[in-house]
């Protein structure tokens, strides 16, 4: 395992711990933290896998409307959930599983026949 991944994983864990402890110690709303985290974790994880600008536009527009709604409803503690989602979701997106070629039975049969003929 790469030492940089270990260090970055430790930093992500410590930052997440610090945010959660800060929210608890300052009597912020854990419910609002959870709402902000759940709403933003999935889009942040998959933002780098979007292939066109339309999904990114929709995501940014949704985020702007949600931020405005949070501001108008005075749900300021959801920003801590958003921050937690950025930290955890960003690291998941960065360390995602690499793309792989899907297994094709027909291709396998062709390669087997070719390899038998060459022997």
Q: Largest Cα–Cα distance in the chain?
A: 73
Retrieve residue 27's tokens: 């009597």
pLDDT band per the 50, 70, 90 thresholds, residue 66: confident
Segment 69-80, tens digit of pLDDT: 888 988 888 889
Cβ 47 vs Cβ 58: under 8 Å = no
Mean pLDDT of 90-98: 74
- Reduced to 3 states (helix: H, G, I; strand: E, B; else coil), residue 107 is helix
Report residue 100: phi and psi, to 5°. -140, 160
pTM, 2 dp: 0.70
Q: Give the residue, 117 or 37, on which the prediction is more confident.
A: 37
- Residue 98 predicted with pLDDT over 70: no
Residue ranges per domain, the chain? 3-118
What is the pLDDT averaged over residues 101-112?
80
Q: Which helix (H) or strand (E) holds 111?
A: helix 105-118
Nearest by Cα to 87 from 11, 1, 21, 34: 11
């Amino acid at each position: 395992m790469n030492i940089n991944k270990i260090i970055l994983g430790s930093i992500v864990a410590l930052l997440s711990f610090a945010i959660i402890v800060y929210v608890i110690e300052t009597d912020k709303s854990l419910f609002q933290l959870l709402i902000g985290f759940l709403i933003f974790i999935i889009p942040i994880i998959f933002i780098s896998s979007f292939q066109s600008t339309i999904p990114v536009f929709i995501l940014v527009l949704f985020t702007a409307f949600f931020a405005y709604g949070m501001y108008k409803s005075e749900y300021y503690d959801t920003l801590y959930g958003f921050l937690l989602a950025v930290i955890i979701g960003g690291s998941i997106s960065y360390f995602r599983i690499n793309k792989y070629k899907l297994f094709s039975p027909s291709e396998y049969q062709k390669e087997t026949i070719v390899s038998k003929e060459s022997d």
